[in-house]
Each structure stands twice: as structure tokens, then as C-alpha cells.
Amino acid sequence: MIEITDAAVLTRVRDFLATAALPDDGRLPPERELAQSLEVGRGALRKALATLQSEGVVWRHVGKGTFTGERPIDTVADINAMVQRTNPLEVMSARIAFEPEVARCAALYATAGQVAEMRSCMLKAQQAPTWRQYEQWDNKLHRTIGEASQNSLLLGLLDTLNAVRRAVTWGRLRDTPLRPPGDHHSFEEHTRIVAAIADRDGAGAADAMRRHLRSVESHMRDRL
Amino acid sequence: MIEITDAAVLTRVRDFLATAALPDDGRLPPERELAQSLEVGRGALRKALATLQSEGVVWRHVGKGTFTGERPIDTVADINAMVQRTNPLEVMSARIAFEPEVARCAALYATAGQVAEMRSCMLKAQQAPTWRQYEQWDNKLHRTIGEASQNSLLLGLLDTLNAVRRAVTWGRLRDTPLRPPGDHHSFEEHTRIVAAIADRDGAGAADAMRRHLRSVESHMRDRL
DNA sequence: ATCAGAACCAATTTTGAATTGGTTTTGGTT
DNA sequence: AACCAAAACCAATTCAAAATTGGTTCTGAT
């Protein structure tokens, strides 16, 4: 092995980066392999990579590999982490911030089939013989509204929000009465939401959803 | 093995469910084990479990096990699934729906320290010598706004949204010019957002954020 | 003293075996 | 022939150990 300068090693690595066909995630070959193919020692390569990392050209992570570009901000909280950090009132606040905007989009983009499905869910929620079944149809209604936004990312975020919500409220079943009363506040509120969506009234849908969720929040506070 | 009726098996399983100390996730013992301890055949047990599943008392999943309660709606899309399903324009639409509401909350809840940090990020973005560094400070600004909502769930959803965005737009580096021009539209827009937040003007902050993101979307469309 | 290469360590990924529910086959009984 | 329990097999998931990857220390040559 002929000794070459640090600068020459750095140049070889830069040249490699400029010409190599890397996979989509920008992952470089493992250090040991790259050192071999560039005909430099691993120590020298590591020195060069450290320089490039400090310049934001590559980032490295033990066990994962070396990648082009800046290190991604690793702030993605998975569901469990979100569940550990939040609480029912915070979930309600997040819903009040987020779901009216989903309903607004749904009013603009829902298909007739989706509106029909919302109506069906709404009716089934009203006729539900148990709280459990009411909540199933309630969940289905809200998710159909998310689907009606025709934005898979909004739907994904809504699903994430609902997963956290269920985990935070898990096990809190209502035992009395057995089913929702005939004048359960959500029934009329659901009707207003779906009507505004069917009318293509974005602002109306957002407002109706916000009122509904504020009502749910208020009832939740009454139970604390 | 004494043969017992299906009804008797069902009763044994119900009794078991009523008395057993199950783990937090409500997981029952494996079928083969439960059949043995209840002294029934696996086939008969499976019949009873199928009945209980149809009643919503338990749910079962190949490879996972049998659990008490209703099957969770397994709609949680992880980041990769979201990335595969979405596209840059959809990401922009989702941002336009969601981030103004985050800014609205930030206007209500931001601490003075967080407002100062927003200003610092804004200045550093303006002074950034490369697009890469501009984007780092831009990201930091938007995340500080999310933190200022004082809602960990909203922040978690924003992080999720941004992770998807980065994955969808990965590798799309601007090479010319080397850095943002002095009159880059986002500079003034950032200023308006932060000013509205500092003024505790929720509607103003939401509106400024919405205008900013619409402007970003418009420039994105120009580049398509 | 310095440095390259080897060896070791910690974080992560990969892989194959084990586990779990779902279904089919087998053989005994009626 | 019909029925059913048990065994065998299949598909989905989990788990543990091996392999891989970057990070650090040790060793031996110069």
C-alpha cells in the first residue's frame, strides 16, 4: 500500500461521491469495502469521511452506514412515544386544531359515494345498541371524512392521531347506560357536519366539526 | 377427554376471561395452551373463540395471538407507507391544511423564549450562505412553531409530516444560485408569521402561515 | 513518537427458528 | 356416509442469534 496524503484521500472520496451510482437513500458502501475499492486505509478513509461529515456532505451512524447529505433531524415520534407524552385533553386540543381542516378538505373533495357512506355511518351510530358499537361507527364516520379529503397524507396523520387517542383512552368504557341516549349530542352534530360536506361548504364543515369536537371536549371535562 | 358441549366450552372460556390475570395488552395464552388448561380440544376452543370474536369480546390475529376486546383499527400508516402513497403536491396540500392551525396555537401558547428562538432561526435563514443551511434553519423555524403550540401530539404530527416531506423531496437540491437571493419570498413571509405569533394574533398567524405555504406551493408548481 | 492494520466494542440489520392462529388431512366412531 | 377430534401442515408474526456497520483501542513496525 503506497502512502498517500490525507488531501489525496479526501479527493478520491469526493470523486467517488461525484460519480458513484448510489441507491435512493444515498447509502455509501461500508467503510471497509470503500477503503478497499479506493485503495486507501480505513483509518485514512475515516479521517476523510469525518471531514466530509463536518461539511455536511455525508452523515454516518453506527450500525446503519454512511449516507450522503445532512443527517436527518431524528424527531419522528413513533406512536408509543406520542402516547407516553400526551394526555386526553391534549389529544382533544390536537383534534380541535386538526380535524376541522380535514372536514374542510372533505367538503371540497368528497365523492358522492363517500357522502353516502358518511350518512350510513351516522345512521348506524344512532341505531347502535351498545356504546362499543356506537364508537365503532363514530370512528368509521370520522375516518371516512379523512378519506374524503383525498389526501393520503392527511389521512395518515388522522390515523396516527386516532391511534394515539385510542391508546390514551384505552379501557375507558362507558358502562351506564348500555347505549347512547336518543338525544346524544353527537347525533345532531354529526348531521350538521355531513350536511355541510354534502353541501360543499368547506367553512361550514370546518365550523360544524369544531363545534362537535368542542362539545365532546366539554363533555369530557364534565366527566373528569 | 370427556366430550362436552359447545356451550359448555364457551362458558369455560367466558369464566376464564372473567377471572384470569391477563397482561396489559389483554393477550390470552396461545390456543394450544389454553385448550389444554381448560381441558377442551383446540377445535372446540376455536369454535368458542370465533363466537366470542363475533361478539367483540376477543380478537385474534395469525402470528400475534388472541386478545380481549375489539380488534383495533389497524390503519396506522407508518412513515414509509405514507411516503410511498403520497407526492409533493399532496404534501403541500396537507401542510396548507395543517400548519396554519399549528401557527394559530403557537400564537396562543408560545413562550417569550420560543418567540426569540423563532426570530433567531429567521435571521439565520436569511443569512444562510447555502441553500442547505437555509433549509436547516427553515426547518428549525417551523419546528419551533410546532413546539410553541405546547401540544406534544401536534408536534408529533408535524414531525411526521416533515419526515414524509423530506423523504418525498429527497435529493432535490437547488444548485443555482448557491444561496437564497436576498429577496427570497420566504424571508418576508417568515417575518409576518413570527410577528403575528409574537402579537398573539392567532388568526393572523394562521393566515400568514397559509399565505407562506401557498407561496411555496406556487413556486413549487412553477418548477414542475 | 507516529501510524497502519488488526482486534474489539456498541448500534443496527439480517436471518432462520420458533411461535401463533388458520386450514386441511387423517383416522376413528357412529 | 357423516361427523368430529387430533394431527399435520400453512401463513403471519415474533424472537434470538449471527452478521454487519461505524467507533475506538490495541499492537507492532517504522
Strands (E), B91-178: none
- B10 and B84 assigned to the same domain: no
Q: What pLDDT score does A23 carry?
A: 86
Residue A156 CA to residue A176 CA, distance in Å, equals 33
In a domain, A84, yes or no: yes
CATH of the domain at A196: 1.20.120.530
Cell digits of residue A21: 451510482
- A17 and A125 assigned to the same domain: no
The average confidence (pLDDT) of chain B is 86
B70 and A97: CB-CB below 8 Å?
no
In a domain, A74, yes or no: no
CA–CA distances in Å: residue B118 to residues A11, B113, B158: 38, 9, 16
In the predicted model, is pLDDT for residue B105 greater than 90? yes
Q: What is the DSSP letter of B31?
A: H
Q: How many domains in chain B? A: 2
Whole domain around residue B170: which residue ranges? 79-223
In a domain, A73, yes or no: no
The answer, yes or no, to whether ipTM is higher than 0.90 is: no
What Rg do the C-alpha atoms of chain A give, in angstroms?
Answer: 27
- B180 and B199 assigned to the same domain: yes
CA distance from start to end of chain B: 72
- A57 and A85 assigned to the same domain: no
In a domain, B1, yes or no: no
Protein-proximal positions, strand D, CB < 7 A? 4-7, 11-14, 20-25
Q: Are B155 and A90 in contact (CB under 8 A)?
A: no
b/e sequence A78-107, b meaning 16+ C-beta within 10 Å: ebeebbeebebebbbbbbbbbbbbbbbbbb
In a domain, A204, yes or no: yes
CATH of the domain at A37: 1.10.10.10
Domain boundary pick from A14, A48, A68: A68
User: For residue A94, what is the enclosing H or E element?
Assistant: helix A88-109
Shortest Cα distance, chain B CAs vs residue A76, angstroms: 5
Domain boundary pick from B48, B68, B88: B68
In the predicted model, is pLDDT for residue A84 greater than 80? no
- B147 and B205 assigned to the same domain: yes
Q: What pLDDT score does A164 carry?
A: 83
- Per CB distance under 8 Å, which residues of B are interface residues toward A? 56, 70, 72-73, 75-77, 79, 81-82, 85-86, 90-91, 93-94, 97-98, 101-102, 104-105, 132-133, 136, 139, 143, 149, 151-157, 159-164, 166, 170-171
Domain boundary pick from B68, B89, B115: B68
In the predicted model, is pLDDT for residue A130 greater than 90? no
Q: What pLDDT score does B162 carry?
A: 86
Residue indicated by cell numbers 388472541: B66
In a domain, B73, yes or no: no
At B25, the pLDDT band (50, 70, 90 cuts) reads confident
In a domain, B84, yes or no: yes
Chain B residues whose CB is inside 8 A of the A155 CB are 77
In a domain, A147, yes or no: yes
Q: For B125-150, what is the mean pLDDT?
A: 85
- A135 and A103 assigned to the same domain: yes
- B84 and B57 assigned to the same domain: no
In the predicted model, is pLDDT for residue A160 greater than 90? no
CA–CA distances in Å: residue B201 to residues A31, A33, B170, B197, B212: 52, 56, 34, 6, 16
Nearest to A198 by CA among A77, A136, A106, A122: A106
Phi and psi torsions of A68, nearest 5°: -75, 150
The length of chain B is: 224
Between CA A63 and C1' D18 the distance (Å) reads 14
Q: Are B164 and B83 in contact (CB under 8 A)?
A: yes
Peptide bond into A177 cis (omega under 30): yes
- A86 and A16 assigned to the same domain: no
